[in-house]
Structure 1
Amino acid sequence: MALTRDFKATIVERVERDPDFAKALLDEAATLFLNGEAETARLILRDLVNATVGFEQLARESARPSKSLHRMLSRAGNPSMDNLAVIFSVITRRLGVSLEVRDVEAHA
């Protein structure tokens, strides 16, 4: 069965009308990185960048070339921790949130 809508466009529209969805994507990307699922985390983060700040603005705010950022957040990307920190910093500022790591078992 063929998709009738472009997935990326759907993500952008959902983020625009539901800020909590954008925050959930950010949370999921961070959780996936911390749990060793870097490939999926990069792809979610790429969709979030496209839906919020955009790669050109991310490049300006992070002082990194847009092309490099695209490569970092691709399926085969390999961003350094410094680059990830900058990307997360720009996104969290844009969304007006902060990230906090909690032990789920301790809060259960």
Structure 2
Amino acid sequence: MTKYLKITLSILLLSCLLPLPYGYFQFVRFAGMLVFSYLAYRASDKKNKSEVFIYISLAILFQPFIKIALGRTVWNIVDIVVAVVLLLTITTSSKKK
């Protein structure tokens, strides 16, 4: 399940590079907050403290309630980096199994 959540969120983040309505970006922030919170919960079950910290930090960064104004360019870079890292975690976790 986490694999599909990561893929879906990566697609949503990469689509933020397109000129879409502002409501879409709000949706992506809310979805990101939910997915990163879930991933933090799953990482805490596995006792992986570093992943918990990273996912909680990302959930706070993407939360839609208190805006973190980084500017469009910086947000695009953040979206790309986070999407690529999420996709890389899928490949590295499947190699470990």
Give the shorter-chain TM-score range.
0.3 to 0.5
Name the structure, 1 or 2, with higher relative contact order (CA <8 Å, separation 6+): 2
**Alignment TM-score, normalising by the size of structure 1:** 0.44
Question: Per residue, is there more helix in 1 or in 2?
Answer: 2
